[in-house]
């Protein structure tokens, strides 16, 4: 958080099936919820928090299993579980309606919340989102098989750094912030038996043939709110080609492809992503 001059402002709340969901809150104004991706935590949004908090109330939960939130007892349907947490956090913070942005796993969870409770959301941003096709990084698909977990050893700093550098954010050069991201992802992935929980979640999410939870055209056509879709042009986790179906299937959507950018768009193109988010959520 210090990269953007932010001081920690967080607490734990009960949401859905979880007793301790860690949530940070910044600023005042119309509420906007930011949902991070797998392996990360709320602080990955630090640049966007700093920009949005000037005129928004920014709510930043840690998805259970990541960040400082509880570990799930069982993972069977990530989209539904994350959606339930989002709506539970909104209830705890007395938020009737909000804007929402999600990255990767947080994006499909955001979609789940929008589908389940469409009247509670005004505008959305979905970045590098699963759910639009079977395709997924081949190492993640292989690692969904217990005997092949060695392809991504979450208990190995070297392996996690390698995966981050070559598949998640392969287009950006070295920086202090990048190293901090990598270390945060490694530490989060190795706390309180998180490795076992991660692989259980991975098995529920994908198999060798790809993603299990692919949303139908009928379901996506019911998403009526203005939706900004953001992808890097070199995404090696959720293929960039999925963006075409996303933009065709969600009626009121706009697609932005960021050049020379991989999966973690808000690290590799932070200024552009922040600009897009501030513009999309700007109050009229």
Domain boundaries, the chain: 2-137+210-280
Instruction: Extract long-range pairs of 275-278: CB within 8 Å, 24+ residues apart.
Output: 276/125, 276/228, 276/230, 277/48, 277/51, 277/52, 277/101, 277/125, 278/51, 278/52
Instruction: Please report the beta strands in the chain, taking only residues with DSSP state E, as ranges in sequence order.
Output: 10-15, 18-26, 31-35, 57-61, 98-103, 121-127, 206-207, 210-211, 227-232, 253-258
Each residue's pLDDT, cut to its tens digit, for the chain (284 residues) gives 888 999 988 999 999 999 999 999 999 999 999 999 998 999 999 999 999 999 999 999 999 989 899 988 888 889 999 999 999 999 999 999 999 999 999 999 999 999 999 999 999 999 999 999 999 999 999 988 888 776 667 778 898 899 999 999 999 988 999 999 999 888 888 887 778 888 888 899 999 999 999 999 999 999 999 999 999 999 999 999 999 999 999 999 999 999 999 999 999 999 999 999 999 999 64
Helix (H, G, I), strand (E, B) or coil at 158: helix
Q: Which residues of 110-120 are buried (b: 16+ CB within 10 A; e: fewer)?
A: bbbbbbeeeeb
Could you tell me whether strands 227-232 and 121-127 are parallel, antiparallel, or unpaired per DSSP bridges?
A: parallel
Rounded CA gap, 88 and 130, in Å? Answer: 22
Helix crossing, 194-205 with 78-92: angle to 10°? 120
Residue bearing tokens 């009737």 = 96
- DSSP 8-state class, residue 233: T
Written as one string, the DSSP assignment of 161-216 is HHHIIIIISTTS---HHHHHHHHHHHHHTTSTTHHHHHHHHHHHHEETTEES----
pTM above 0.75, yes or no: yes
Assigned fold of 2-137+210-280: Rossmann fold (3.40.50)
């Amino acid at each position: 958080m210090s990269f953007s001059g932010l001081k920690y402002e967080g607490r734990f709340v009960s949401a859905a099936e979880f007793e301790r969901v860690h949530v940070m809150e910044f600023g005042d104004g119309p509420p906007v919820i930011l949902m991070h991706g797998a392996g990360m935590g709320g602080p990955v949004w630090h640049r966007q928090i700093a920009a949005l908090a000037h005129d928004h109330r920014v709510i930043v939960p840690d998805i259970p299993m990541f960040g400082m939130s509880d570990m799930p007892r069982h993972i069977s349907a990530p989209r539904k579980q994350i959606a339930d947490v989002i709506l539970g956090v909104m209830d705890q913070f007395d938020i009737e309606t909000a804007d929402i942005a999600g990255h990767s796993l947080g994006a499909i969870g955001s979609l789940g919340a929008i589908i389940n409770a469409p009247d509670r959301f005004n505008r959305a941003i979905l970045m590098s989102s699963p759910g639009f096709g079977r395709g997924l990084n081949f190492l993640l698909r292989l690692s969904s098989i217990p005997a092949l977990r060695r392809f991504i050893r979450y208990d190995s700093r070297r392996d996690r750094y390698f995966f981050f550098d070559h598949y998640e954010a392969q287009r950006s050069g070295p920086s202090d912030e990048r190293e901090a991201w990598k270390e945060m992802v490694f530490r989060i992935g190795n706390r309180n038996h998180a490795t076992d929980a991660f692989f259980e979640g991975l098995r529920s999410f994908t198999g060798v043939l790809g993603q299990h939870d692919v949303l139908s055209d009928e379901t996506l056509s019911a998403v009526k709110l203005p939706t900004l879709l953001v992808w890097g042009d070199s995404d090696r986790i959720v293929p960039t080609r999925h963006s075409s179906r996303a933009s065709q299937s969600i009626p009121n959507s706009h697609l932005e492809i960021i050049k020379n950018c991989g999966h973690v768009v808000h690290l590799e193109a932070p200024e552009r992503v922040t600009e897009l988010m501030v513009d999309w959520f700007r109050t009229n």
